[in-house]
Amino acid sequence: MNNIVIGQYIPGSSFLYKMDPRSKILALILLMVTTFVLTDIIQILVLLSVLLVILKLGGIPIGRIVKGLRPIIVLLFFTFTFQVLFIKTGRIILDETLHYSFYTILLAVGVVLFWMITKRFIKFKISYFLMMIVGILSIFMYYPIGDPFAQGQLVIYTGGLQGAFFIMVRLIIIVTLSTILTLTTKPTDLTLGLEQLLKPLSIIKVSAEEIALIISIALRYIPTLLDEANKIMLAQASRGVDFKEGKLKDKVVQIISLLVPMFIISFKRSDELANAMEARNFVPGNRRTRLHILTWQTIDTITIIITAITIPVAILLRVMLG
Amino acid sequence: MAIKFTEVSYQYSSPDGSLFDALKNINLDIAKTGEFIALIGETGSGKSTLVQHMNALMKPSSGQVEIYGIKINHSKSKKQKLTPLRQKVGLVFQFPEYQLFEETVMRDIMFGPRNFNISKEEAKQRARKAIIQVGLDESYLERSPFNLSGGEKKRVSIAGILAMEPDILVLDEPTSGLDPKGRDALIDLFTLIHNTYHKTIIIITHDMNIVHQVASRVLVMREGELVFDGTSEALFNNESLNKWNLEEPDLIKMTKQLEQRYSISMRPFPKNIDQLFHHIKDVI
Ligand SMILES: Nc1ncnc2c1ncn2[C@@H]1O[C@H](COP(=O)(O)OP(=O)(O)O)[C@@H](O)[C@H]1O
Ligand SMILES: [Mg+2]
């Protein structure tokens, strides 16, 4: 339960922590735009290395960034595969016939089964998964045992590899950028910054304050609700529910026994919260003073200027090379 | 021994990675039958954490808990079947909101027994019996558990565990939030179960009067450590009572005042009003 961390904030004191959340959010958006404008692999690698330097200076351990990448690993894998398979430009670097016969398919299934059984004991899950994929491909390519009833062609172009690599780096940059933001900014500061940035929306009758309030309440209560869910599971487990096992019908009852108390407790909590807010005379939309006031410093101005400049530079590079 | 704790420690880990010692090196034996144990200590001293180890809901971070011969420790052993233990050691949680979920009280009470493969008919029988035991009448069985008062919810949640017919009954603050009448009724029920079936009962409570009246053995937790394990008489004669922020029960306070006032001795301390009268009669 505890590894689902919504506010990923880890305390620190580097310049990234001293910056105003507004400038961090703006810089994030600007850099994302730049990332999408860039089309050259060298340039995007330069951007990535600049980011790595910022991480180093900002005292953020790379491990935390890698952790942030974990949820998108499946996405990375699929984009990589599609890019490799479907971009047909540049030189051919691999052209092999895949033999689908009874025996090769049997072998492949065997490899998958072996992988499924052994993956529990292997520490590097992702590398192991890739090894399995390579293993299956090489069976189809290099061991044409048996009569193939179908054949396929695996053709990989340099363009495909380059494109795949490029997209991967781009995704990694985007995730790294947002991870830097969430690691160095408290959720409360984040919503406060967002609120201030969304203020102009009040012209079209969208209340930035309410949106920010909703976000901060949600952020505040997610860990609490996870905690409650844990307690409910324990309470039901002591009545004989085995959440790890059960047929489909049992599973449905198990989930109901978790969800119903969950809803009831959430409603109760929100009722209590509403009462507590009302008791302190909270009126939505009224002007309120703040305990923490955001302060815009020179470093924020500099950051915005530098990140803003990257966009025209990127466009210029693109036009010149394009 | 039904439950045996050997050097059990437990740490909660918070999201930022720091650890909090909730149990420190606990050694404890609990017999299969005949014990009436009160577990006391300040809020946050680790009482709830301790009792959740008793039916294998939690696994110790280090050390070992043995429950009815099944050893539970930190090592990721192959799939142990732990659910049967939860029928043997019935644990009632502090807040009924965490477990009530069915449409009717009847179905909710039947939920536990049904999970342990008790037939529908038998489970219904047990529900009828349990609801009476906790001092509510059968008309409650058809009501929704969510429209009950706090005290009634609490009793229904206790009935839900009673219907599983556990060997050992563990209750986490069963009397908190109840009115005096409801509290007395529950304590009477636990005493009755204890006397009739000789089942071991463990209750967490802050009410020293209950401890004095019913407990044959008292466990005191303090900051994750088990600092006292003995009879209630020994506890109330213990010097450290104040240090542990524990109060004396009303009856003992009064007896001590009488002793002082009239320079008499009324030992052993009376357990109830009757015994107090006896003492007074003796003196007169
Ligand atoms: N899920 C949890 N995560 C982190 N700390 C916890 C958790 N549950 C309890 N604790 C801490 O462990 C200590 C013991 O808690 P608990 O066993 O509930 O105490 P008690 O029941 O005596 O009031 C408390 O200080 C509490 O803050
Ligand atoms: Mg507790």
* B28 touches B7 (CB < 8 A): no
Residues B242 and B264 reside in one and the same domain: no
Residues B277 and B143 reside in one and the same domain: no
Residues A167 and A279 reside in one and the same domain: no
Residues A125 and A33 reside in one and the same domain: no
Residues B82 and B150 reside in one and the same domain: yes
Residues A71 and A45 reside in one and the same domain: yes
Residues A39 and A61 reside in one and the same domain: yes
pLDDT score recorded for residue A1: 37
Residues A41 and A135 reside in one and the same domain: no
CA neighbours closer than 13 Å in the CB half-sphere of residue A119? 14
CA nearest A150: which of A102, A187, A198, A109?
A102
Q: Which residue has the tokens 């590097």?
A: A124
Q: Determine the Cα–Cα distance for residues A54 and A66; give it in Å rounded to an integer.
A: 15
Q: Determine the Cα–Cα distance for residues A253 and B88; give it in Å rounded to an integer.
A: 22
| B268 prior amide bond cis, ω within 30 | yes
Assigned token pair, A196 = 């201030």
CA nearest B54: which of B39, B38, B66?
B66
Answer yes or no: do B97 and A265 touch at CB < 8 A. yes
Residues B154 and B131 reside in one and the same domain: yes
Residue pLDDT, tens place only, A201-220: 878 877 888 888 888 788 77
Which residue has the least CA distance to atom 24 on ligand 1?
A: B44
Assigned token pair, A40 = 């050259």
Residues B227 and B274 reside in one and the same domain: no
Residues A79 and A181 reside in one and the same domain: yes
pLDDT score recorded for residue B77: 62
β-sheet bridge partners, residue B228: B220
Residues B244 and B268 reside in one and the same domain: no
Mean residue pLDDT across chain A: 86
pLDDT score recorded for residue A322: 67
Residues A32 and A120 reside in one and the same domain: no
pTM: 0.75
In a domain, A199, yes or no: no
**Boundaries of domain holding A133:** 102-146
Describe chain B by its helix, strand, coil percentages, rounded to 5.
40, 25, 35
Residues B63 and B187 reside in one and the same domain: yes
Q: Determine the Cα–Cα distance for residues A10 and B55; give it in Å rounded to an integer.
A: 36
**Boundaries of domain holding B273:** 249-284
- Interface A-B, measured as beta-carbon pairs within 8 A, has a size of 62
Residues B53 and B127 reside in one and the same domain: yes
Closest alpha carbon within chain A to B18:
A2
Q: Determine the Cα–Cα distance for residues B108 and A291; give it in Å rounded to an integer.
A: 47
* A110 touches A139 (CB < 8 A): no
Segment holding A101, helix H or strand E: strand A92-101
Residues A225 and A279 reside in one and the same domain: yes
Residue A4 confidence (pLDDT) above 50: no
Residues B243 and B279 reside in one and the same domain: no
What residues are in contact with ligand 1 under a 6 Å CB criterion?
B 12, 14, 20, 22, 41, 43-49
Residues B66 and B174 reside in one and the same domain: yes
In a domain, A260, yes or no: yes
In a domain, A266, yes or no: yes
CA nearest A136: which of A157, A111, A153?
A111
In a domain, A192, yes or no: no
Q: For the domain that residue B88 is a member of, what is the CATH number?
A: 3.40.50.300
In a domain, A193, yes or no: no
Residues A135 and A280 reside in one and the same domain: no
Assigned token pair, B227 = 């600092």
Its ipTM equals 0.90
In a domain, A195, yes or no: no
Q: How many domains does chain A have?
A: 3
Q: Sorting pLDDT into bands at 50, 70 and 90, what band is A2?
A: very low
Residue pLDDT, tens place only, A110-143: 999 998 888 888 778 778 888 898 899 888 888 8
pLDDT score recorded for residue A70: 80
In a domain, A220, yes or no: yes
Q: Determine the Cα–Cα distance for residues A176 and A132; give it in Å rounded to an integer.
A: 28
Residues A49 and A92 reside in one and the same domain: yes
pLDDT score recorded for residue B16: 64
**Residue type for position A296:** W
Answer yes or no: do A223 and B83 touch at CB < 8 A. no
Residues whose CB falls within 8 Å of the CB of residue A81, separated by 6 or more in sequence, listed in order: A164
Residue numbers in chain B where pLDDT is lower than 50:
none
In a domain, A203, yes or no: no
Residues B104 and B141 reside in one and the same domain: yes
Q: How many domains does chain B have?
A: 2
Residues B270 and B142 reside in one and the same domain: no
Q: Which of residues 237-296 of A touch B (CB under 8 A)?
A: 237-242, 256-257, 260-261, 264-265, 268
* A262 touches B85 (CB < 8 A): no
Q: Determine the Cα–Cα distance for residues A215 and A218; give it in Å rounded to an integer.
A: 5
